Copies of this chain bind each other. A is one copy, B any other.
Amino acid sequence: MTARIRDFLATRRPEGPCLVVDLDVVRDNFLAFRRALPDTRVFYAVKANPAPEVLALLAELGSNFDCASIPEIEMALTAGASAERISFGNTIKKERDIARAAVLGVDLFAVDCVAEVEKVARQAPGAKVFCRILCDGAGAEWPLSRKFGCEPEMAAEVLEHAARLGLRAYGISFHVGSQQANLEAWDGALASAAAIFRELGDKGIQLRMVNLGGGFPTRYLKDVPATEAYGRSITDAVHRHFGNEIPETIIEPGRGMVGNAGIIKSEVVLISKKKTSDDVRWVYLDIGKFGGLAETMDEAIRYPIRTSHEGAETAPCVLAGPTCDSADVLYEKTPYELPITLEIGDEVLIEGTGAYTTTYSAVAFNGFAPLRAYVI
């Protein structure tokens, strides 16, 4: 919670659930990444929060942008980034979208298979491609599925094919899993990347870049290591595996850039029990899984929740959203401790919600409007 957000909510009193993002926190986060990894270029993961004000601030600070789609590329350009500061980081692209990106001047593309290389070669001849490799997400609060990337042994093949088709085989990317609290997580992936650099080097293809991905955590209920600690650990691992041939490096923070910059204001709609003798209360908010809190899926992320009853005795509650969807329950397997004095109509503040909330919001499920955002 920042003083600016507290003042905004107190004076503006916005109606309905909403996200408030404090740009000062985004700025601090960007500068912390730059200090922690001074030789690494920052590509902000636009999908985390594409608010125009956030993109404009980061463009002004010199950030680059990791974009998942043509609309995200257009938003980054509108925010003031030039095309050479944009990466089309989605490994799953329609061929006509690659063509459109190339027309817009984008020259850096993610791939993870031969078929995608062929699309890029046809629509963006001569562009730079980096191949994403799978890596073990141990230590991540939200380990990634195998959806993106190929096994490291296939990556050399994919990049060789790119070189053969006239593309610039530019580098390797990986992602250590979201909300990664293990400082050593980057080490194994960097070892794989260095091995691919050597293998292709032996074949006369000189890779240039390692994309270290995202995974930088934001603070929810548990403490997480500081950005500087990540910086030291990653820098050490790069030196360990690449010796004195240090590649260009880039990072793609999303959650780590905006997560702690935002707070969702919500309201208690109902508190009830399923039978009179129940101990556990059900607390229903005016925001749920389909209104922006999709990351509570499988109770993966537990957001800190503040009420005006700080210090009061608490009791375990099931926390749920306002829709008629029975899956719209936020925390039930591990109930959430809330003040026993909490009442219907009370305001609650959900912290750490600056990333992956507004855009996940359903367009109109149950007739509820998408989550509004105020960027201050």
Contact = CB atoms under 8 A, between A and B. Distances in A.
A335 to B, nearest CB: 13
A75 B70 CA distance: 33
Interface centre among A68, A270, A328 (most CB of B within 10 A): A270
Contacts of A363: 358-359, 361-363, 370
A368 B73 CA distance: 12
Interface string A341-370: 000110000000000001111111111111
8 pairs of A and B residues whose beta carbons are closest in the complex: A71-B367, A113-B272, A69-B367, A72-B367, A144-B326, A151-B275, A68-B366, A363-B370
A362 B313 CA distance: 37
Interface string A145-165: 111111101100100000000
Contacts of A154: 273-276
A40 to B, nearest CB: 20
B47 A324 contact: yes
Interface stretch (A77-85, A86-94, A203-211): A86-94
Contacts of A365: 47, 359-360
A63 interface: no
B92 A322 contact: yes
Contact of A326 (B147, B276, B329): B147
Contacts of A93: 269-270
B324 A269 contact: no
B274 A69 contact: no
Contacts of A360: 290, 362, 365
Interface in A106-124: 112-116, 119
Tell me what chain A mostly uses at the interface: helix, strand, loop, or mixed. Answer: loop
Interface string A258-280: 00000000010111111110000
Nearest to A151: B275
Given A71-B369, A153-B275, A50 B364 contact: yes
A297 B267 CA distance: 27
A151 B282 CA distance: 14
A144 B323 CA distance: 13
Interface in A4-55: 45-47, 50
Contacts of A370: 363
Contacts of A59: none
A336 interface: no
Contact of A328 (B70, B147, B359, B361): B147
Interface of A: 45-47, 50, 67-72, 75, 89-95, 112-116, 119, 134, 144-151, 153-154, 157, 178, 267, 269-276, 282, 284, 286, 290, 294, 297, 320, 322-329, 332, 344-345, 358-370
A269 B258 CA distance: 30
5 contacts: A94-B269, A112-B272, A113-B272, A359-B365, A361-B362
A362 B366 CA distance: 13
Contact of A327 (B145, B323, B361, B367): B145
Given A69-B368, A115-B271, A147-B329, A286 B89 contact: no
Contacts of A149: 274
A236 to B, nearest CB: 27
B115 A367 contact: no
Contacts of A275: 150-151, 153-154
Contacts of A359: 362-366
Contacts of A368: 69, 71
